Amino acid sequence: MTETFRLTLAQMNPTVGAIDANALKARAAWAAGREAGAGMVALPEMFITGYQTRDLVMKPAFVRHAITALERLAADCAEGPALGIGGPWWDGRRLYNAFWVMDGGRIVARVLKHNLPNDTVFDEVRQFSAGDVSGPYRIGPLRIGSPVCEDAWHEDVAETLAETGAEILLVPNGSPYYRNKYDRRVSLMVARVIETKLPLVYLNMVGAQDDQIFDGGSFALNPGGEIAAQLPVFDEMIAHVDFARGPQGWRALRAEIEPLPDEWEQDYRAMVEALRDYTAKSGIAKVLLGLSGGIDSALVAAIAADALGPANVRCVMLPSEYTSQDSLDDAAAVARKLGCRLDTIPIEGARAAVGAALAPLFAGQKPGVAEENIQSRLRGLLLMALSNKFGEMLLSTGNKSEMAVGYATIYGDMAGGYNPLKDLYKTRVFDLCRWRNAQHRAWMKGPEGTVVPERVIDKPPSAELRADQKDEDSLPPYPVLDAILERLVEGDQSVAEVVAAGFDRATVKKVEALLYGAEWKRFQSAPGVRLTKKAFWLDRRYPIVNRWRDEG
């Protein structure tokens, strides 16, 4: 009779700091595995604390709470399958990122993370000590090796586990999303199975934490790189992977392969789920935003409606004398199509009062940016007043192009608690609006059909802070601006390299100056979900005071 082993994967969504609630989730997953006849139930990296904890994990009382919860889990889950779960370990001298393995009421292994990531969004060298590479542990008939997340991105740990008798590799992860990262993960894990000739299970968490989102997409590979199982992206799921021992050793039996959505759907889903989790985990039920009639606020409204439901989204139009009738009509059309409440608060009276107060000091000065920004800041003040009064979190609506070059008003349209578009360039805003108009998914709480009218997508962008204003009065056309920014930011290219790619040097230098000069604004901007490998502040950390410029 063929020997078999069932591994239950809990692709779940923990909450940072909700240690006892996370333990309840783990216990429920373990019970589901026991019901299904599993030999082991596995949860992702640092699941008991949530991830990433940042410096919270360095607080001794927090670590004691987590370890107590893990030890209690071991006792509570004694009668049934083994349980593997990520959490911290303090050995009396050092703190480690560990994968705890429990069986029969005992802790049978603690696998310590060896390769600590210290780049992009990770600061694990600051928080943890690197553990020694440990060998495999035995669960029933299987010897399992568990490289913890980053350990599987390098050859050393997996090679050691194979050499010391591991028969399969189980990789618990807290791997945050960026665009097309799934392909990178699969490529690296295929390299590990080819090197070790062992089947591999890649288990990732889902859910958002602050400005990062974890996209799941867990999978199983057999030697040679064949995918044997594929879980969906972004969805919580408990799934079972069965292994059978044959002449070549253990192999994963083929299970359901979930199709991977394209990058447009994944980006949109990331923004929706990130906002949904940010509000839910913060205890916030409702949001509001300034709906200008422009494309950015329309997309934010759609994201908010899909995340929280239209009834929990308040849109506010705050017209001035420069607000066109088209903008009033377009804002009303967006709110109507989404089914969201729309309030209107004219700002002319408030603007006149501020103008009168400043008149003695502004006398003899030519009107300019200061007067324009008063309008934006009045809108921010009024929106924050509504937020305070009704307990609705204000969403800011600036895209990555605007955040990059500072085309936003600090304490004005930058006001808010969260920005869904913070890592989305303007040209992608247009494309995602068209994508959302043509698509609807079960995870969207907003309505089907066109939610951003074509007129909103097609009209020239304008802040409408002065007569006949267009964004292109101050900035290069967005296709040019975004192409330069992607080279300067994502590509870290020099001015000379960008010019060599065909861009006008004066334009590139202008964009570079704006990019460096806006660092202070970005430092004070609302958090927003990371979609790229070069999200501001998370991945690209530049000084605020910076006199260097690229003169090449």
Which helix H or strand E contains 3, and what residues bound it? none
Catalytic-labelled residue, pool 45, 402, 464, 519: 45
**Residues 383, 290: contact at Cβ < 8 Å?**
yes
86 beta partners? 99
Q: What angle do CA 359, 362, 367 make, to 5 degrees?
A: 105
According to the 3-state scheme, what is the secondary structure of 7-35?
EEEEECCCCCCCHHHHHHHHHHHHHHHHH
Q: Are strands 168-173 and 212-215 parallel, antiparallel or unpaired?
A: unpaired
Question: Which one-letter amino acid corresponds to residue 280?
Answer: A
φ/ψ (deg, to 5) at 434: -65, -40
- Catalytic status, residue 113: yes
Length of the chain: 552
Catalytic residue among 25, 77, 124, 149: 149
Sort residue 192 into left (φ over 0), alpha (ψ -120 to 50) or beta: alpha
Decide if 149 is catalytic. yes
Give the residue among 127, 146, 125, 124 at the shortest CA–CA distance from 135: 146
Residue of 113, 400, 422, 534 with catalytic role? 113
Say if CB 403 and CB 536 are below 8 A apart.
Answer: yes
Question: Is the distance from CB of 88 to CB of 64 less than 8 angstroms?
Answer: no
* Torsion sign across C-alpha atoms 361, 363, 364, 366: positive
Catalytic residues: 45, 113, 149
